[in-house]
Amino acid sequence: MAVFLSTYVNKVDKKGRVSVPSEFRKVLSGQTYQGVVIFKSLRYPALEACSAEHMEQLSEDLDAQDISNEDYEAIETSIFGGSVQVPFDGEGRIVLPEHFARFANITDEAAFVGRRKTFHIWEPTALATLEDSMREKARSRDISLSKIVAKASQMRGAQS
C-alpha cells in the first residue's frame, strides 16, 4: 500500500493555490474523490490532510474505540466539524481556505510532510524548528530503526 513519504516545499500563489506534490497525488490517484480533506492539527500549528476514504476509516475507528463521551464530542467537533474537502484543480493544486492558512501561518510557502496515512501542511520555518527538536528527541532516546525492526521480528518469532 502506498503511503505519504518525504517532505516537499511548494509555493502559494496570490490566488492561494498550492501544488500538492505529485508523489502525494499518486498515492491519492486511486481514490474516487480527487482532492483531500483538511483539518487543523490538535497537536501542532499545522494542517493535517488525508484522503476522503481515510477520513471515513478514522470515523469508524473512533466508534470502535473506547473513548469517553467528552473526548468523542471534542474530536467530532474539532476534526469532523472543522474539516474541509478541497478538490484538485486541473494541475493538481488546491486552495487553502484562508482561515486554515492563517491557523498554520502559511503565507507564501507550504511544506507538505508525509506521515504515512496522512500528511501535514506546515509553514516551512515552523516545521524546521519542530524537526530539529524531534530529531534530537529521537536521538536522545536512542531510537534506532534496526532495533525496532529487531524487536518486532522477535515478537513475530515468539508468536509462531
Supply the minimum distance, in Å, between the C-beta of residue 114 and its own copies: 6
Residue 30 engages its own copies in binding (rule: CB under 8 A): no
Distance CA 69, CA 14 (A): 42
Listed ranges 9-17, 119-127, 136-144, 147-155: which one lies at the site for DNA (CB under 7 A): 9-17
Q: Cell 473506547: give the residue.
A: 66
Rounded to whole angstroms, the Cα distance separating 95 from 16 reads 5
End-to-end CA distance of the chain: 25
CA gap 83, 97 in Å, rounded: 11
Characterize the bridge pairing of strands 109-115 and 47-50. unpaired
Q: Name which position in 22, 29, 31, 78 contacts its own copies (CB under 8 A).
A: 78
By C-beta, is 15 or 43 nearer to DNA? 15
Q: Where on the chain is the footprint of its own copies (CB under 8 A)?
A: 1, 3-7, 23, 37, 42-43, 48, 54-62, 64-65, 70-71, 73-85, 113-118, 120, 130-131, 134-135, 137-139, 141, 143-146, 148-149, 151-152, 155
